[in-house]
Amino acid sequence: MPHDLILLGHGSGGALSHQLLDELVVPTLSGISQAGRDDAAVLDPVGGRLAFTTDCYVVDPPFFPGGSIGDLAVNGTVNDLAMMGARPLYLSTGLILEEGFSRDDLARILTAMRRAADAAGVAIVTGDTKVVPRGKADRIFITTSGVGVLDHGLTICGSGARPGDRVIINGTIGDHGIAVLAAREGLELSSDVTSDSAPLNDLVAELLKEGDAIHVLRDPTRGGVATTLKEIALQSKLGIAIREDQLPVSREVGAVCAILGLDPLYVANEGKLLAVVAPEAAERVLERVRNHPLGRESAVIGEVTDKNEGRVTMETVVGGMRAVEMLAGEQLPRIC
Amino acid sequence: MNYRDEYRDRELVQGLADRIGHLADRAGRTMTFMEVCGTHTMAIYQYGIRSLLPPGVRLISGPGCPVCVTPNEYIDRAVAYCRLPETIVATFGDMMRVPGSSSSLMAERAQGADVRIVYSSLDAVALAMKNPGKRVIFLGIGFETTAPTVAGSILAAEEKKVGNYFVLAAHKTIPIPMQLLSADPETAIDGYLCPAHVSAIIGGAAYRSLAEGHGVPCVITGFEPADIMRGVEMLVRQVVEGESLVENEYSRVVQWDGNRKAREVLERVFVPCNATWRGIGAIPGSGLAINERYACYDAERALPVTAEEPREHPGCRCGDILRGKITPFDCPLFAVACTPESPVGACMVSSEGTCAAAFKYGR
Ligand code: SF4
């Protein structure tokens, strides 16, 4: 029996399952060598309203330049909590493994999850592992759920934009989607595009020092910046006007998009946030973001208007005007 | 500044817009120009080119998207093929979601058919070599740009003695329908932005009878915003000065006599035939069929199938869109019943379709 592969028995709940959990999953994720055998994690009370979220990760391939499905699964859920202004505390995780998946790869992914959790300051406190027959899943799927606490009185949500607000992004767009696409399709790029996968909770904590000047926070993941801006415009019942020449796009991502006919505005990000902030605070916010390691290339990309309710318009690089709509269909499937 | 930036320069484009404005004033009437290339359609929407033009200059989209002009009967036939046992249908991705009369390749795949997306016809030949026990049927659609590569795949299959590779060919050629549409008094086309890639193969001479014989100005135009603006400027100037010539805005890529080598490859495998265009109908001599010599690679002759009776989608106005008679905004289904997630017609599916472009950039 090969020891380097995941077998159906590893998900049976029997002896092989225990072995996999005791030897690999639990010690890697939690740092405790002996698996707790109780049915649920018991958490200490926290002071404040709770934010609770869940997400599934099916990225293909599971390893790509700049990250893996492991850090993505942690960062994605951490970021969803952070976008509500919550401080992420605990995660749970579900692992669905395809029979025959490499045990080494699983170990690498679990290590990546642990590192990402440590970096974000969250603990993975409970989880489950299942194995399905070969062909019934593609290598590895991960789900994570997360709980965070709102330890302030601010309300940060998609409907909070106001006319005159500025829209800020913390860096270049489209890096994650293009990195995954390049890895999947074996594109030869002249220099590496790496995923921007990163936990944004620390950057958000920095932003929240501006208090109620922060009106909306959103991470433009699937569907990209375009889709997220449109959601904000619809939820806030206001217009958003952006300028294409202000959008930070790396040379390499721009080139790949031009060749493949993709629009970076619609390509997924995993370490970016859009902040809609009061105009008088915009300069200060930009300053704060730029001084953070995850915000060096941040920029003001547009503003909120009381014209064009529910619409996003863009002045193109050549000075033309056009609408920005939500991503229709799947531009790039299985990107996270 | 790289090569592309030069053609996306704001001042350059603004300068062209000003010049077009002045010229258009001299025309004293509204001029309508048609582009017949999906890449132009996308670029015009994407850069907001229409918003830069004076009210007297109208751009309309024609039958330039290869997926869109492919009629339902072709999709139905492809669907019939993918229901055969031991058969792999290989296609460019855009075809997957195009609705046929009652099904689509995507729907067939969901029910177990073996449909694969390939990026070139040579990938489909490789697929055939990897699966000697199966038939691989490649969906050969597209204009003069794609046809030589598909011809090349048939030559490659012959050379490598691949007996299980077939092409369901529905290639089309663009100049004849351009001539036909320009004769329609309702659309009243004042000139054409001629497609860049197609022209790189067929050359400027292919539009000569249209320009000189039928009096329709033709300008071969590149894809960058400054190219398109310059192409429009050249068309407006011809109209104002009462000329009708073939001009080449895209001379950095397109040569006057095109690409003879590619045409030779095309002519080794294909012969002109009648072709059915969605929305336009049958146009004599506007298609390319596989010739006798390579008949064994022709799916229709080597593996006849019966497909369902083709039906059009009630309410879909793709036909009028492809003839430039209406814009997507005039279709009552646009963005209501017809969206890219659940497209009613081909023009909403293809990434080069006029309805898809209008949905993504236009509203
Ligand atoms: S909007 Fe849809 S239904 Fe209307 S013409 Fe376009 S594809 Fe057909």
For B1-11, the pLDDT digits (tens) are: 345 578 888 99
Closest CA to A333 of A189, A138, A145, A131: A138
The reply to whether B10 falls in a domain is yes
Residue B20 within a domain? yes
CA A110 to chain centre: 17
- The mean pLDDT value of chain B amounts to 94
With respect to residue A8, please indicate whether it lies within any of the assigned structural domains.
Answer: no
Which residues contact residue A328 at a Cβ distance below 8 angstroms, ignoring those fewer than 6 apart? B339, B340, B341, B356, B359, B360
Task: Tell me if B101 sits within 8 A of B72, measured CB to CB.
Answer: yes
Q: Domain containing A118: what range?
A: 15-150
Of residues A261, A320, A324, nearest to B52 (C-beta) = A320
Residue of A nearest to B39 (CA): A261
Task: Check whether residue A43 and residue A74 sit in a common domain.
Answer: yes
What CATH code is carried by the domain that includes residue A196? 3.90.650.10
* In a domain? residue A173: yes
Q: Does residue A170 sit in the same domain as residue A318? A: yes
Q: Are residues A125 and A90 in the same domain?
A: yes
Instruction: Tell me the per-residue pLDDT of A201-257, one tens digit each, with 9 for 90 and over.
Output: 999 999 999 999 999 999 999 999 999 999 999 999 999 999 999 999 999 999 888
A258:B363 CB<8 A: no
Is residue A156 one of the residues assigned to a domain? Answer: no
Shortest-distance Cα residue to atom 6 of ligand 1: B355
Inter-residue contact A5 to A140 (CB < 8 Å):
no
CATH number at residue A132: 3.30.1330.10
Q: Calculate the alpha carbon distances from A336 to A5, A40, A242, A315 in Å.
A: 24, 27, 26, 30
What is the predicted pLDDT for the residue at B261?
Answer: 96
Q: Is position B126 within any domain?
A: no
Q: Hey, are the CB atoms on B13 and A328 less than 8 Å from each other?
A: no
Which residue among A118, A150, A182 closes a domain? A150
Same domain? A189 vs A313: yes
Q: Which residue has the higher pLDDT, B331 or A151?
A: B331
Same domain (yes/no): A125, A202: no
Residues A133 and A189 in one domain: no
- Per the structure, the complete domain to which residue B14 belongs is given by 5-65+175-248
Residues with pLDDT less than 70, chain A = 1-2, 31-37, 190, 328-332
CA A117 to centroid of chain Cα atoms: 13
> For ligand 1, atom 3, which residue shows the shortest CA distance?
B316
* A51/A87 same-domain check: yes
Residue carrying the six token digits 């359609």: B41
- Total domains present in chain A: 2
In a domain? residue B277: no
Residue A134 lies in a domain: yes
Q: How far is CA A27 from CA A111, A143, A192, A220, B91, in A?
A: 10, 19, 33, 33, 47
Q: Give dist(CA B95, CA B102) in Å, integer.
A: 15
- What pLDDT sits at residue B1? 38
Q: Which residue, A150, A182, A201, sits at the end of a domain?
A: A150
Domain contains B138: no
Torsion (CA) A162, A235, A72, A248 in degrees, nearest 10: -50
Sign for the CA dihedral angle at A218, A223, A224, A228 comes to negative
> Do the domain assignments include residue B34?
yes
Per the DSSP assignment, residues forming a β-bridge with B290 are: B270
Examine the domain organization and report whether A244 and A284 are in the same domain: yes
> What is the pLDDT at residue A327?
76
Q: What is the pLDDT of residues B56-71, one digit of tens each?
A: 999 999 999 999 999 9
What is the rounded average pLDDT of the residues B244-257? 95
Does residue A329 sit within a domain? Answer: no
Shared domain check, A128 and A45 = yes
- By C-alpha distance, the chain A residue nearest B358 is A323
Domain count, chain B: 1
- Picking from A98, A125, A150, the residue at the C-terminal end of a domain is A150
**Taking a contact as any Cβ pair under 8 Å apart, which residues of chain B between 18 and 47 contact chain A?**
42, 45-47
Residue at A206: amino acid letter: E
**Helix (DSSP H) and strand (DSSP E) numbers for chain B:** 17, 11
Residue A34 lies in a domain: yes
- Within a domain: A334: no
CATH code of residue B183 = 3.40.50.11750
Would B92 be classed as within a structural domain?
no
Sign of CA dihedral A134, A136, A140, A142: negative
The whole-model pTM stands at: 0.80
Note whether A46 and A134 are same-domain residues. yes
Residue B153 placed within a domain: no
Pocket of ligand 1 (CB under 6 A): B 316-318, 321, 328, 331, 333-334, 338, 344-345, 347-348, 355
Say yes or no: A233 and A101 in one domain: no
Q: Looking at the complex, report in whole angstroms how far the Cα of residue B140 sits from the nearest Cα belonging to chain A.
A: 20
Kindly provide the b/e burial profile for residues A295-306, where b requires at least 16 CB atoms within 10 angstroms of the residue's own CB.
beebbbbbbbbe
Question: Among all chains, which residue has been given the structure tokens 């500044």?
Answer: B1
- Cβ contact A91:A77 at 8 Å: yes
- Across the A:B interface, residue pairs with CB atoms under 8 Å apart total 67
Which chain A residues are within 8 Å of B46, Cβ to Cβ?
263, 316, 322
